[in-house]
Amino acid sequence: MTTPLVNATLIGQTVTFTSKNPTDPTTYVGIIAGIITYPLAVVFGFDIVSYNAAVQRVDTSVGDPTTLNYFVITLNNKTDQTQPANRLFASEWIATASFSEIQQAAVYNLSVYDIPAKGQTEIITILRASGYNAVPTSS
């Protein structure tokens, strides 16, 4: 058995992926909240059997729903308020090439005092030329 794409090492990490299910065009973006077993997954209120059947139509290697590796993702990109904040998903349903972990970049604020507006432009230009994503926050 291969290691699941989503496992306990990803809990708390932000990920993005799409599904193998051809009727689900959603790009999921969110934080992995936890790994759960099938008995807990079935009480989550999601139609696992139907979703799994749709995935199996395009990937016959996806097994019986009782054997899959389930996780909960807290969505960052809900398209409307009727969607639940937490979504059940199985690693086996993920289109593998679409999966990526989003690295959170640190943001640093830099204050430079007593310079003319032209100086601010020069500083931003120097930072950008050095490979930093620099933007002015005030004029």
pLDDT per position as a tens digit, 38-96? 999 999 889 999 999 999 999 999 999 999 999 999 988 766 667 678 899 999 999 99
- pLDDT tens for each residue of 106-121: 667 777 788 887 777 8
CA gap 70, 40 in Å, rounded = 9
Task: Please give the helix or strand (H or E) that residue 52 lies within, else none.
Answer: helix 48-58
Q: Are 20 and 5 in contact (CB under 8 A)?
A: no
CA–CA distance, 56 with 73 (Å, rounded to integer): 22
Q: What is the pLDDT of residue 138?
A: 61
Residue 1: the pLDDT is 45
Tell me the pTM. Answer: 0.71
Q: What DSSP element (H or E) covers 128? A: helix 117-129
Strands (E), 22-64: 27-36
Residue 101's H or E segment, with its range, is strand 100-102
